[in-house]
Amino acid sequence: MNEDAFWQLIEDCRPTEPDPDAEVLAATLTERLAHSPLSLVIGFAEQLSWALYRLDRKEYGNDLSGDAFLYTRAAVVAAGRTAFDGVLQDPAAFTPYAIDLIWAEPLLYTPYRAYERITGEEWGRGSV
CB 13 within 8 A of CB 27: no
pLDDT at 62 over 80: no
The contacts of residue 50 (CB under 8 Å, 6+ apart) are: 3
H-assigned helices in the chain: 3-13, 23-34, 38-54, 58-61, 66-78, 81-89, 95-99, 105-119
- Check residue 3 and give its pLDDT: 97
pLDDT at 127 over 70: no
User: What is this structure's pTM?
Assistant: 0.92
Average of pLDDT values for 5-31? 95
Average of pLDDT values for 36-46? 97
Domain boundaries, the chain: 1-13+67-122
* 128 pLDDT tier (thresholds 50, 70, 90): very low
For a pLDDT cut of 70, what percent of the chain falls above it?
97
Average of pLDDT values for 65-72? 89
The contacts of residue 101 (CB under 8 Å, 6+ apart) are: 68, 72
